[in-house]
Structure 1
Amino acid sequence: MAKNKGKRKVLTQKHVCSRMNFLYQASQLMAHSQQNTLAAYYGKLCRNVGTKALMHIAPDLKRTLCKRCSLPLLPGVNTTLQLQTEPKKQPEEPPTTTDAKPKRKRRCRRLPKHKQNKSGKTSQSVQDEHAKLQLECCLCHAQRHFQVNTERECWSERAEAIAQVVSLQEQDNADEQEQL
């Protein structure tokens, strides 16, 4: 009896995965055809199906959806993309009481000598590590910030994560030859 329950759970998970996949692809298709409200609706449905079934969406797919309205973020189509190279400086607050000691200004930390050019300026690669990628949704104007870091990558983007590559064209050709 316990074995049947495990098989049933696996079958329902496959069904939920295929439904989430279909809804995600439908939202991408609607976003490419400039129907943003419908695309956001399908993206929200995809998230709700996964939440109800207690299944996690892959992080690389989650990054492509707006956190607020679930619209697929496609730079140049329905999203503005900006690169911020300098970190934002926080404004200093004046002391609230007159008796309090004034805050000392913090010194800027110097980079090690091997990361500086001969002219004393920081190299381009060091600046790129501190850059941020900003995406702004056109539907709800929510902003997402991603740190540009060349050293870190998601597991799904690594070569070790790929278990098998399936080519549909080869399978179609093999099926046609069997029919002849």
Structure 2
Amino acid sequence: MHPFNAIFGCLCPGHAIQYDILEEQPARSFSHEKKHDPRTTQSLAEEILSTLYATTANDEKLAQRVDEIVSATGWYEGLAAAVLNGLETAIKAEAPMGQGMRDAYDKAAEVIAQVFQFAKDHPVFVAFVALGILVILAPWAIEALGFGELGPIEGTFAAWWQSAYGNVPAGALFTFFQRLGMVWRL
């Protein structure tokens, strides 16, 4: 089972969606610096984009063609950024796509639509995920939400949450965030 399906199945029992196996390409070597090549980053990116947009299938021939384009320079940060920016621009301009690009676009759009629909259908879950991210990246923000060192701070989100649900059992999500507010670590 694909990892995304396993996670989605846990979050939404009975609503698990089976996706076809995505035909991802193997990772390429990547560096931050461009190796010497007379072509500009922009011309390399345009050639890669032209190849991607013209492809009829996501297959080994496509991988070989892209490898040929970058054989002298390898992948580097500036080239990856130029390809991404060019791809974004082409998608916004609704540039004509070959079947391989159309299939990849449709698969990506479908997954993204389902993720956003999940977020719309489960706003509380998404809020908790966002709060968890905040805890990890900026634990001091937990105190700003009212999870203080001595307990929920009066008049804050944490106080509202506790009052809305009354007696909060040990092990509940609220107690997890309150503990983080008290000790600032996982």
**Shorter-chain TM band:** under 0.3
The structure with more radius of gyration? 1
Q: Flag the structure with higher strand content.
A: 1
Normalising by structure 2, we get a TM-score of 0.27
Normalising by structure 1, we get a TM-score of 0.27
